[in-house]
Amino acid sequence: MTEPALCSPKSNPFSLDDDVAYQKWRQHKLSAYPVTPDRLIVAIADINAVSAQELQQLKAVIHQHNMVIYDLGARPLASKAQIRQFARRLGLERIDNNICSDEDSITSLQVSNTAQKRIYIPYTNRRLSWHADGYYNPLEKQIRGMLLHCVRPALKGGENMLLDHEMLYIQLRDENPAYIRALMHAEAMTIPPNNEGEAGEQLRAAQSGPVFSLENSSGNLHIRYSARTRNISWRNDSLTAEASGKITEYLATSPYILRYRLAAGQGVICNNLLHNRTSFEDSDAQHRLLYRARFYDRVADTGVSSIMNQVN
């Protein structure tokens, strides 16, 4: 896989050198807001036989908002293999196998007391801060698509907040285009190494890279971000510090943030946007369980080029 580009082609609305393309794309993007979570829900009659119409509906919502909420109704999954097949229908093929994933590379997100998992917040009931998945991955293994399926919600809490990263891009660029330039720098944000292996073994080296980047082949916008304040190193210059502060501000105030608590049988499919999770409470009878699959692919047919074909 090629590494993401740090600058955009002239014909791309994400190019800071082409304000005409940006304004056309921006107007199209903003025309879909305000939006509420219920407008992002697509009902799926049978996950084993997703119809062409259902696929079209899923892609249309993702094309506009970089996310969709699907609803299987009262029909539970028979196996996680159904998730993998469903994802393939949407062009999500190259799955990421992280250190805490199951043997099938799909991760079971639930409270865990195992030594390997309990040090990571996703496997606790604590609040999970804003991030895009795989921000610690090397640039050649960036996560561009994700599926999150709810098998069983928590007794209380466990709500997600979701923000299309393209809306954050608009807010930042409208305030100061120089923020985007700073956040596209190859050393804008550095994630420290993971030394949590046995006897301090290094599981992952430090990873530096941009916050915003563009895919070489498509020009689609990608985000790599974590709101963690501990051990995150930002490039040491005033503009990057100001830009990262603005991200923090918008993640607290943006009118484009959606709040939603997945019910059993519902899931989110997205082009790896920004999201977080509130803390939650389980009971002896009800333990929160979600399945997460991460992919190196975006959802097929949801790129910026087709949007520009519509607006030009």
What's the mean pLDDT in 229-256? 95
The sign of the CA dihedral 59, 60, 61, 66 is positive
Would you kindly state where each structural domain of the chain is located, as residue ranges? Answer: 19-311
CA end-to-end distance (rounded Å), the chain: 30
Predicted model pTM = 0.93
Of 110, 107, 149, which is closest to residue 267 (Cα–Cα)? 149
Residues near 215 by beta carbon (within 8 Å), at least 6 away in sequence: 2, 4, 5, 144, 222
What gap in Å lies between CA 45 and CA 115, rounded to an integer?
40
pLDDT 10s digits, 41-98: 999 999 999 999 999 999 999 999 999 999 999 888 999 999 999 999 999 999 999 8
What gap in Å lies between CA 169 and CA 166, rounded to an integer?
5
**With 80 as the cut, is the pLDDT of residue 27 above it?**
yes
What's the mean pLDDT in 6-19? 75
pLDDT of 38: 97
DSSP letter string over 158-177?
--EEEE-HHHHHHHHHHH-H
pLDDT 10s digits, 88-125: 999 999 999 987 889 999 999 999 988 678 678 899 99
Reported as half-sphere exposure (CB side, CA atoms, 13 A), residue 43 has a value of 4
Characterize the bridge pairing of strands 289-295 and 156-157: unpaired
> What CATH number was assigned to the domain covering residues 19-311?
3.60.130.10
State CA 44 to chain mean position distance: 22
What gap in Å lies between CA 64 and CA 203, rounded to an integer?
37
197-210 core/surface letters (b: 16 or more CB in 10 A; e: else) = eeeeeeebeebbbb
What gap in Å lies between CA 135 and CA 142, rounded to an integer?
7
What gap in Å lies between CA 206 and CA 93, rounded to an integer?
27
Of 185, 111, 94, 184, which is closest to residue 146 (Cα–Cα)? 94
pLDDT of 5: 47
Residue whose entry in the numeric block shows the structure tokens 């997460």:
292
At 194, the pLDDT band (50, 70, 90 cuts) reads confident
